[in-house]
């Protein structure tokens, strides 16, 4: 399977492979140049890693003495960023699914739906999203039963 690499003017690189367009991690782009300063700036610009992780990467970068160690670090960072991207993507899809499901509830008021969706957006974990959605379903059932009485 072949892939097409697209480099934008701002330096971002996208790869088209298997019919899917995927952003290449900036750290992978830094692999072509093993300049520690360039790698440091790429680490600081990572999209999905938090500050604590970036600091750990920067510490490890300063500890690297050989080209092999630099390549290993770059590979670890690239894999980590890719995994974080997939996690974020999965969470976004789950968020979207729950927003649609809350919108489809019939007995909850628009204000309550809005409130639940705003709460849902602040959730950072899948379990939090599921718990909030189940809360909405229970409220819907209670309102449905009280409406039927």
State the chain's mean pLDDT as an integer.
86
Tokens 């009485």 belong to residue: 149
pLDDT tens digits for range 32-62? 556 888 888 889 989 888 999 999 999 999 9
What are the sequence ranges of the domains in the chain? Answer: 3-87, 105-148
Per residue in 93-129, pLDDT (tens digit) is: 999 999 999 999 999 999 999 999 999 999 989 999 9
**101-124 as b/e, with b when 16 or more CB fall inside 10 Å?**
ebeebeebeeebbeebbeebeebe
Other beta carbons within 10 Å of 53: 16
67-104 and 51-63 helices, crossing angle to 10° = 170
Higher pLDDT, 135 or 28: 135
Contact indicator for 28, 78 with CB cutoff of 8 Å: yes
* Rounded mean pLDDT, 68-77: 90
- Which of 35, 24, 27, 26 lies closest to 64 in space, CA to CA? 35
Strand partners, 22: 15
Separation of alpha carbons 145 and 140, rounded Å = 9
The pLDDT assigned to 38 comes to 85
Structural contact between residues 60 and 75, judged by C-beta atoms closer than 8 angstroms? no
Q: SS3 for 34-46, per residue?
A: CCHHHHHHHHHCC
d(CA 90, CA 49): 16
């Amino acid at each position: 399977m072949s892939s097409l690499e697209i480099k934008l003017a701002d330096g971002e690189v996208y790869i088209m492979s298997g019919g899917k367009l995927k952003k290449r991690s900036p750290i992978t782009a830094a692999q072509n140049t093993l300049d520690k300063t360039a790698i440091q700036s790429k680490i600081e610009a990572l999209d999905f890693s938090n500050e604590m992780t970036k600091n750990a990467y920067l510490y490890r970068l300063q500890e690297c003495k050989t080209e092999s160690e630099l390549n290993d670090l770059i590979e670890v960072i690239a894999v980590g960023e890719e995994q974080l991207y997939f996690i974020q993507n999965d969470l976004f899809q789950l968020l979207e699914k729950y927003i649609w499901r809350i919108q489809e509830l019939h007995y909850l008021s628009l204000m309550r739906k809005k409130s639940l969706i705003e709460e849902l957006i602040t959730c950072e974990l899948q379990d939090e999203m599921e718990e909030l959605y189940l809360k909405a379903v229970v409220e819907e059932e209670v309102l449905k039963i009280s409406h039927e009485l």
